[in-house]
Amino acid sequence: MSSDHFETRAIHVGQEPDEMTGAVNVPIYATSTYAQDAPGEHRGYEYSRTDNPTRHALEVALASLEGVDPEANGGTISAGSGMAATALIGYMLKPGDHIVLPNDAYGGTFRFFARVLSEHGVEWTAADMTASDGLAEALQSNTKLVWIETPTNPMLRIVDLGARIEEAHAAGVKVCVDNTFATPFLTRPIDHGADLVLHSMTKYLGGHSDVVGGAIVTGDAELHERLKFLQNAVGPVLGPFDAYLTLRGMKTLALRMERHSRNAMAIAQFLEGHEKVSQVIYPGLDSHPQHELAARQMADFGGMVSFRMKDGPDSAFKMTRRTELFFLAESLGGVESLIEVPAAMTHMSVEGTELEVPSDLVRLSVGIEHVDDLIADLEQALA
C-alpha cells in the first residue's frame, strides 16, 4: 500500500519482501557482475558500478522521503561519500562557469569548489544567503549553480528556501540544497523548488556512525540522467553493504530526529543560561535571528547546537577535552553525541577566507542519550 506518512514510507518504499525467499530486509547483493540471457540482454542489472539491487532500493526509498517518485520523474544517485556526491555535481560545471556558495559552508564543500574546481576554471563567489540582497548581488551572467545550506554548518543560519530559489530561477540558475543537517524529515527542499538536494548519508540518514555515503536527489529527469551517466563514467559508487546499513538507518530516521531535536532544545536552553557561554546558536531559540523562519520552514529544529565561550579559544579547547559522553570527534548525526571545535577540525580549510569561523566556537551534534546525562556532562566540562 502507498502512504503519505514519512515513517511508513521510510520502512516500506523500495523495500518489499524478497520475491524468492520472502526476506523482509533487502538482501545485500555482494556481486560485481550479473549473468546475461544473451549478449546485451540482461535482467535490469549488468555491472555494479552502473547499478546494484541493494543500492537501487536505497535510492528509491530516499527519493520518496524527499518527495520524488522515480517512476514519474527524477530519482536518487547514491555515491561513496557526501564529497563524492558533491564532486558529481561539480562535474556538470565547465571552465568559465560560476557558482555561488554560502559564506558559511561546510569546509569540505568550500575546499572542493574553491581549491579544486577553481584550478579547472570554475569561478566562485561566497554570499550571505540569509540577507535579502545577498544572492542577488552575487549572481553573474555566467552563474550556473547556487549552493545553499540550511541550517548552515557550523553557524546554523537558516536560509529562506522559497525566496532564494525563486531568485535563482528568475536568473535561469539551478539550485542545489545541502539537506544534511535538516534531513527530509525536517525540510524537503524540492517542495520549495530546489533542482538538486544533496546529502552526506554518513550523518543523520545512516545515523549510527558506521557508514560513509552521499546522495543527490532530483525531480528533474534530465538532471538525473546526466548524473547517472557521470557516476557510471567516473565511478564514485556506494557499495552494497554501505547501502544496506544506510537503508537500515533510514527506517528509524523519524524517531531519531524527534529525539535529537528534543535533546538539542533542552541543551541549548541550558547553555543559554550558563555564565561561561557568550552566545548560543540554535534555530529553536527565540534569540536565533531566523527563529521565525525556521519555525515556518522546518518541522522541528534539529540536533545541531553551536555556542561560543566567553574566555576564548583556549577555554573552548579545554572544555571539549573534558566531556565524557560527548566524544571529541568530527562528523555528526549519529546516535551518540559529538563535540568539536570547527576552526581546528572540520573547518580548517576556510581559515583566512571570508568563510572563517570563530576560533572560540564549539559545535555539538546532540545524540539520543538521556538528556539529563548530556546536560550533566556539559556542566562538569564547563565547570
Q: Which residues are catalytic?
A: 49, 106, 178, 203
Q: ∠ CA 53-252-294 to the nearest 5 degrees?
A: 115
CA 291 to chain centre: 20
Distance, in Å, from the CA atom of 65 to the CA atom of 253, rounded to the nearest integer, reads 10
Look at residue 228 and give its three-state secondary structure: helix
β-partners of residue 281 are 306
DSSP assigned state of 43 = S
Look at residue 53 and give its three-state secondary structure: helix
Distance, in Å, from the CA atom of 151 to the CA atom of 319, rounded to the nearest integer, reads 25
* Site of grid cell 548525526: 333
Quote the crossing angle between the two packed helices 313-320 and 371-382, to the nearest 10°.
130
Nearest-CA neighbor of 304 among 343, 277, 342, 276? 342
* Site of grid cell 581549491: 115
Structural element, H or E, at residue 361: strand 361-365
Kindly report the number of other CB atoms within 10 A of residue 37's CB atom: 8
Task: Walk across the sheet containing 123-127 and list its strands.
Answer: 75-79, 214-218, 196-200, 174-178, 143-149, 98-102, 123-127
Residues 6+ apart with CB under 8 A from 1: none
**Per-residue CA distances from 119 to 107, 193, 267 (Å):** 17, 31, 43
Per the CB < 8 A criterion, the answer to whether 383 and 327 are in contact is no
Distance, in Å, from the CA atom of 262 to the CA atom of 205, rounded to the nearest integer, reads 18
Measured in residues, the chain has a length of: 383
